[in-house]
A and B are shown apart, each in its own frame.
Chain A
Amino acid sequence: MQDQQLAKGQETLFDAEEMVLNMGPQHPSTHGVLRVILKLDGETVVGLDCDIGFLHRGVEKIGEADTYAMITPYWDRLDYVAAVSNDLCYVEGVEKMLQVEVPKRAEYVRVILTELQRIASHLLWLGTHAMDIGAVTVLLYCFREREEILKIFEDFIGARLTAHAFRIGGLWWDTYPEFEPRVRDFLKILPGRIDEYETLLNANRIWLQRTVGIGILPAEEAINLSLTGPALRGSGVKYDVRKAQPYSAYADFNFEIPVGENGDTYDRYLVRMEEMKQSAIIIEQALDGLPEGPVMAKVPKIIKPPVGEVYHSIEGPKGELGVYMVSDGTGKPYRMRIRPPSYINLQSLKRMSIGHLVADVVALIGTLDIVLGEVDR
């Protein structure tokens, strides 16, 4: 009887016109409140539109009403799985305007924390991306390692998720005595653990079928779509802000920029896996060369940057995270624009999805690694 029903359903499907399907905003695989409106022919996507803004809270407007120091915590809540990276972008932007030189030790600690945050963010991405496609096991392993990083953050900063680590001019505190050995312990276990994930996924037949050849973006198109971060490097473009325009102390360290070949979901996965290993290498170098000294530069109590404007960008875990600020010489920014990598990367979802199946849209949302807190701001 069931078979008959299925057959009947298929018959009508063949005759049916295009169908509009709402995915989200409360869909587990949209990683938040993203509503994707799909136009389907059978199961093939022929049209797509993203409805965003459910989490919009006007951070850019709030920025115009708050002093420079007061804005920093709002940045933690943009990309809430990579709060430390967000802080770095804003804080360095203000420092650039003030022309403050941050002490070397503070810069090294910043690099260590930011790279730890990148690993944590990529682990969360890997876990949820694999879970979306059907490999639930990976999620549990990833959260095990992410927990270690969050514990290091908690002991240093006092918060696990919205870790408000940096301050304009340096750090809030110097590191605690066990900080270095704990990070080193984590670095010791990490490569083995990454091998574990790769054993689970790299040659997994289901994983390969769901990722290889899905959402191919050629390099020129990816650049034209303003894609940044691992999503762009998966297409073979060697653009990483850490190398292209080094900020903080990144010029001191040796590391590779992994790039993909085909620009499909599998390549973007490989790029992120390699990035985690490279982050570990950077942290190790930073720990080895960690200089002594103060962690806070001399910054006036009331921060009033000179009249002018600045654009500063860093390589966040999701892509190029930028801030464009206009100062009118007062204690509040005249205009603060956030360049959110998730938001700008998300617009390529349409280009990548068309022609694929509905289930592939889930994989593609995962591979873009979006966080809706940052998309909607």
Chain B
Amino acid sequence: MGDETKDTSPDQSGEPGDTKQPAKDQADKSHPTGTVGADKPEKAQPLPPEAGSVSPAEEIAAKTKAETPSSEPLKTEAKVESALPGVDKPSMTPTVEGASASGEPTKKLEEGSPEKPAPPRAAPPKAAPAAGHKPPPPPKKGPTITVDITGDPLIDRIKQQFGDAITEAVATLGQQIVRVKKESLKELSSFLHDDQEALFDMCTDVTAVHWPDRAGQEFDVVILLYSVPKNRRLRVKVSLADGEACPSVTPIWSGANWMEREVFDMFGLRFEGHPDLRRILLPPDWPGHPLRKEYPIEYRDNEWTDKHIEYREIDYDTSLIDVKYGERR
């Protein structure tokens, strides 16, 4: 019996197509409203959404590393691309990421560069002259491993459909990452789950990363998706400010239930629409959320222990056990 192999993928691809048709319609209908909200100029411009598009790793690299001439980083960038066999479609032109990291001053990176959403082809020539006084450094230890995704049909479709809501689409070591605005996460997830080209039917993991230095975007919620019929992975990221709630994906992938509970437990991030948001690994009244960076690694919680463990004097009849050896028989 074990030898018999039954591939269910045809069934699956058939089933969701039938059942999820209304959901897709919904997504289509609700999509314009999402873009309208995102298009609001007063919202989009003063906020630095570009801080989201600069990958956290880049930010750190830019902040921490020493300075060198601007011509060098471009070279290293090219080297990386050729040295990376794992990248699906390595972009031949230096990417927006690479250009901003190599060509623009460090100050600008922190503020967020305005030409971020520009197409990758246009960026390098623009950025190169801008590199006037302070060319930013290449990473000290090994080149950056993050490149933009270009020429991927699915990612292009997502970009087209969600427009400004997608603030970043990069590949690290060939692993694709899409960063989406919080408001559009729900639409994007139902699109990824139902679309016949995407079919991300399994939520591999939900986790979070705490970046205390990123003002206004202290948390990244990372959703790792896998598509059984298409055999492909995708990572969806959402940036959140401290105290903001993330839309829950549990209604779409019920497996995300405990993963989101764990993120709530460890980071204190709430998930809107989660059916049962309770702490899972720690006791319900545990103070603090351990995986936040401000939570100390060596931490002894005496208060909690004192509250829950009562030291009692055990009242027993000592005459029963205090037997003097001489008197025993």
Contact = CB atoms under 8 A, between A and B. Distances in A.
Contacts of B16: 220
Interface string B161-183: 00000000000110100000000
Nearest to B56: A326
B26 interface: no
Given A223-B12, A223-B201, A257 B255 contact: no
Nearest to B290: A61
A221 to B, nearest CB: 8
Contacts of A256: 3, 5
A307 B253 contact: no
**Which size bracket describes the interface of B in this complex?**
35 or more
A343 B257 CA distance: 11
A274 B2 contact: yes
A306 B145 contact: yes
Given A52-B280, A225-B255, A220 B140 contact: no
B221 to A, nearest CB: 12
A153 interface: no
Interface in A55-96: 56, 58, 60-62, 64-65, 96
A329 B209 contact: no
Contacts of B8: 219, 235-238
Interface in A302-332: 304-311, 313, 320, 322, 324, 326-329
A261 B1 CA distance: 8
B130 interface: no
B328 interface: no
A335 B197 CA distance: 32
Contacts of A52: 280-281
Contacts of A61: 290-291, 295, 297
Q: Is the interface of A mostly helix, strand, loop or mixed?
A: mixed
A97 interface: yes
Interface stretch (B115-123, B228-236, B309-317): B228-236
A223 B175 contact: no
A334 B209 contact: yes
A302 B14 CA distance: 51
Contact of A328 (B12, B57, B204, B281): B57
Interface in A224-254: 224-227, 235-239, 244-245
B210 to A, nearest CB: 8
Contacts of B64: 328-329
21 contacts: A52-B281, A65-B297, A99-B173, A219-B12, A220-B11, A223-B228, A225-B255, A236-B6, A238-B5, A238-B8, A256-B5, A307-B61, A308-B144, A311-B235, A320-B204, A328-B64, A329-B60, A329-B61, A329-B139, A335-B291, A339-B224
Interface of A: 52-53, 56, 58, 60-62, 64-65, 96-97, 99, 219-220, 223-227, 235-239, 244-245, 256-261, 267, 270-271, 273-274, 304-311, 313, 320, 322, 324, 326-329, 334-335, 337, 339, 343-344, 346-347, 376-377
Given A64-B297, A220-B12, 12 more contacts: A60-B266, A61-B291, A61-B295, A220-B15, A223-B202, A225-B255, A245-B233, A306-B139, A306-B143, A320-B204, A328-B60, A335-B210
Give 9 closest A-B pairs by Cβ, nearest first.
A226-B255, A274-B2, A306-B142, A53-B281, A307-B57, A258-B2, A308-B145, A219-B8, A337-B207
